Structure 1
């Protein structure tokens, strides 16, 4: 791996780890969130924004993997990207569970407050309290639907990223097969060249022997013609 490529991969990996830690901290804040729902929505918005930044860094790391010159470097960076991908999916699961637990806790707390307050209220106040409860339930439902949509979007993007990684893996495997095929072809070509060189040497030896025999024959004939009594 070249020095510049190594630095880029290192920087990208550090940014991914930073966003991963931010997400973990935000998920813990969601678990500990005492309410109201507006605060929970704000925390979820921050988590979504950090996930978007993390996803961009993941895509950049996968691009760096594809740009590696050597196959061994490419496989190392792809393995690192895959580890970060699994960690991101784990964070998404933890985010979903934290949301469900926090919403249930806030809902239970608001119901208890409304029930205890309603015991000392007048009929008109009870009616207003019921209307407030209905409005709160509606807000809760809307918030749950929003979270569900965000989760679905995260899952879809993760599936797309996994599909891209699978395609990259197939490309690497195909490239590896091509390298093996090229290696076999080069080996066969080397054997043919060596065989041709040996044959060429043998042909030269035969030609030399034939010429030697020819000149010996010519000399013998000349000797017999010019010096018949020798």
Structure 2
């Protein structure tokens, strides 16, 4: 894709016009011309960088930079337009029209540079992808040749590994069976101990009931003896009282 760039501010004729404008005694006019020329040169530099760009990330970064510079250029043109209308000086109006024409050409170059560079990047990516595919197929064919020679040795190695794994599984199964037998024996012992503990708990419970019963009887006997003693004392006091009085 061929990019067409029209003559603009970077040409010799444009430089001559720029220097002629800077000879104008109006300081405000000179400042506007200098600022606009600076923005034009900066955008032109970005366009050249875009044309030499080889990656999408860098292209996006340059696009952001270029759009920011173009926005600054438009702001400067708006300021020139406002000053020209307020001052009524014809040279500002003429300069504004000339700068708008240059801006239109600059925008075309910026757009064409992006389209051209994007086309070149996509083309390079397609070529790289095709090259990688061809190299991958070639490497695959080269790997298939020695694979046939090494097939038997690889199969033998795999078989030995499978046998070793089978032996390990058998040993693990035997150890698991022995562990299971031990657990069964331990479970039987635990059940026997549990039965003995239950019997012992029943005996203790019966003994506790008997002790409680004997305790209640002992308390009842003590109460009866206490009241009998009181009755005896009362009888004794009664007899003594009768004899004395």
TM-score normalised by L of structure 1: 0.47
The structure with the largest alpha-carbon Rg is 2
